[in-house]
Amino acid sequence: MTTAYRIWEMIERSNTGPHMEEDEFLPRLFTPTLKKIIKKYEIKYDPDNPVQTDDDMADRLWQAGWELFREVGVYNTDTHRMIKVSDTEIKEALYTAKDQYRVGAGKDAVLWKHRTVEDPEPPFCIMSPDITCNEEYHHSMCLAYLKEPLLDGICAPILEESTGQLITSGGPTEINGCIQHISNLRLAARQLGRPGTFLVAVGTAEHDSGQIAVSDNEWGVRTTDARLVGSLTEFKTADTLLNRVVHYAQYGCYTGHLTGPIYGGWCGGSEGVAVTLVAYSLIGLVIHGAIFSQHFPFHLNYVSNTTRELLWSISMAGQSLARNSTLLHTSNGFANAGPMTEMLFYETACHALVSTVTGWHLWEMASARNKHRNRATPLEARLGMEVGHAVARQEMTREQANDLTLKLLEKYESNAADAPLGKEYQECYDVAKALPTQEHYDMYRKVKDELAQMGIEFPY
């Protein structure tokens, strides 16, 4: 079962909890508390070892994340109230949470299980471009991702226009865009013989009304699929987000918790991001009744998480969650470079390597800092998932992963600030056939061969 059974207690607290003005919450409560906890539990960033092997610090990080959530709670920006929970409630939620779920439908259903550190079982692979795309390319991109053999689930690209009209949040055009989004995705899955594929949908919905409009087992988002509810940065929510929590629980689909703690923001540095990631997983479980948390920590300046500062946070948080809970959590890669660049392939491989060995499932790949329309393709996601499967199957250790990570960082880290933007989807793929161009495929193959020479044992 999920922890959605506490939903109305959490909703009540969002209206009756301790009061605080919004402009005081982060500078006067969240950040000072986080700093004290980092010092108390001696969480220390080590730039020379982005893949840590310090089990004791991973366990202290778990305690730190737990304490941060308990002490700070979650702030509702609409009511100016804080949702607070007790140690007992956190323990209850962790005890009742399942360590595996069967998601998707029929022959396409997949078992999604908790992973451990250095787990020989491959990660669950959700592929997502995480970008907006032109209306004319949306169906093709859905097809292209669904053609990937290692795909366990998909989150489709986001529409900004539908039937030639700009989509506005909360208006009629958003409902229309959300219907087009899920229609394209369901059609593509059926065309490729994967009608029951696990969907995380729909990213086009910015408002709760858009999500509610597409809840339908016949033609829309099914109860075998998942939906996301985000947290506002940091540790904040709003009534429109809590509306989603209630709807998802009552409709009966799976809930995922979406978070993006910011390096260089209210979290501070790598240590703060790591502690916050752990706390966010507990928030997703206890407040939202989520079966998984989808995390995309990112750098304030680069808007990426493939440099060592964020890879360290990902490594530590993954190990902390894997060692101390049975929760499901996905590591969402944000790269600096754009499609059809060797740099993007290196970034994706490095992110997938670090995440897999330290207990994460994979969500790949937001290219070009997730800022540029049409700039993502399935080929970089393919390489990331292949790396994830390979390093798990060969039982790569954290020490080996750290050595390889340092070698990969040498190839791209110095170019993070001025990474190449690359090309758009329609320049990298045959849109009609939803297949990569020969030039794009050759570049992918070149980097994959290079990774194999570096010690990654690809199964094919």
Identify the band that residue 5 occupies on the pLDDT scale cut at 50, 70 and 90: confident
Identify the band that residue 445 occupies on the pLDDT scale cut at 50, 70 and 90: very high
Let me know if residue 186 belongs to a domain.
no
Helix (H) or strand (E) holding 426: helix 425-428
The stretch 325-344 carries a mean pLDDT of: 98
Let me know if residue 312 belongs to a domain.
yes
Let me know if residue 347 belongs to a domain.
yes
Range with the poorest average pLDDT among 3-7, 365-369, 406-410, 441-445: 3-7
| Rounded-to-integer distance, Cα 225 and Cα 105, Å | 8
The pTM score is 0.97
pLDDT at 454 over 70: yes
pLDDT digit string, tens, across residues 70-112: 999 999 999 999 999 999 999 999 999 999 999 999 999 999 9
Domains held by the chain: number: 1
Let me know if residue 14 belongs to a domain.
no
Cα angle 30-355-267, degrees, rounded to a multiple of 5: 15
pLDDT at 1 over 60: no
Mean pLDDT score of the chain, rounded to an integer? 97
Let me know if residue 173 belongs to a domain.
no
| Rounded-to-integer distance, Cα 166 and Cα 103, Å | 33
pLDDT at 2 over 90: no
Let me know if residue 341 belongs to a domain.
yes
The stretch 191-198 carries a mean pLDDT of: 98
**In the chain, % of residues over pLDDT 70:** 99
Angle between helices 308-324 and 270-286 (to 10 degrees): 40
pLDDT at 3 over 90: no
Closest Cα partner for 128 from 334, 400, 420?
Answer: 334
pLDDT at 130 over 70: yes
Burial code of 301-325, b = ≥16 C-beta within 10 A, e = fewer? ebbbbbbbbbbbbbbbbbbbbbbbb
Let me know if residue 260 belongs to a domain.
yes
Domain that holds residue 356: 100-126+236-453
Whether the CB-CB separation of 318 and 360 falls below 8 Å is answered with: yes
Let me know if residue 381 belongs to a domain.
yes
- Beta pairing, strands 292-295 & 254-259: parallel
Strand (E) positions, 339-400?
361-366
The stretch 158-164 carries a mean pLDDT of: 95
According to DSSP, residue 162 is labeled E
CATH number assigned to the domain comprising residue 325: 3.20.20.460
